[in-house]
Amino acid sequence: MEKTHIKQEIKMTESLMARINELISHYPDDKRKSALLPVLHEVQDAHDNWLSIELQDKVAEILHIKPIEVYEVVSFYTMYNRRPVGKFMFEFCQTSPCCLNGVEDLMDYTCNKLGVKVGEPTPDGLFEVRGVECLGACGYAPMMQLGDFYQEHLTKEKIDQLVFDCKEGKITLHDK
């Protein structure tokens, strides 16, 4: 497993712990591990959208499981970040329908526009472009996810508008 050497301040606030305990309460006491995915989402959201090894260890401690059980999940799913990432993560679907409709060209266009390579945040930490597996919206290809929301039927003009709107603070990332 890739370890990051970047230090992350662990901020387990009262409100975050209350939310974690509420999530855990949905499962029997002997099945606390079942809350792992939603707990990781909450913890990641509260920690600048990434999970350091130390933070993953803290989640393991809270759920009374082994740290490796958390590492396995965090390293498997692309929705969990193991290093600092751009605030606006452009996650382009890279499966067949999107590729057939030009998503690779749009990813290249976006990277060139932002001056980065895929998987590399912009120097200001505002943007990052990432390729992901199927997002389940094949009829709307090419598409990407930005925060909790899908951006569909993408074009270069739509990418330009999204970048502009992100810079202007007009993009909502989460629906909560």
Residue 1: its pLDDT value, please?
A: 41
| 103-117 confidence digits (pLDDT tens) | 999 999 999 999 999
Residue 176: its pLDDT value, please?
A: 65
Q: Is the dihedral of CA 115, 104, 137, 130 positive or negative?
A: negative
Distance, CA of 23 to CA of 34 (rounded, Å): 10
| 61-120 confidence digits (pLDDT tens) | 999 999 999 999 999 998 899 999 999 999 999 999 999 999 999 999 999 999 999 999
Distance, CA of 55 to CA of 90 (rounded, Å): 24
Distance, CA of 176 to CA of 173 (rounded, Å): 9
151 vs 31, 137, 144, CA distance in Å? 36, 10, 5
Q: Which of 117, 115, 99 is nearest to 163 (CA)?
A: 115
Q: Are 131 and 118 in contact (CB under 8 A)?
A: yes
Share of the chain above pLDDT 90, in %: 86
Is 90 exceeded by the pLDDT of residue 8?
no
Residue 140: its pLDDT value, please?
A: 95
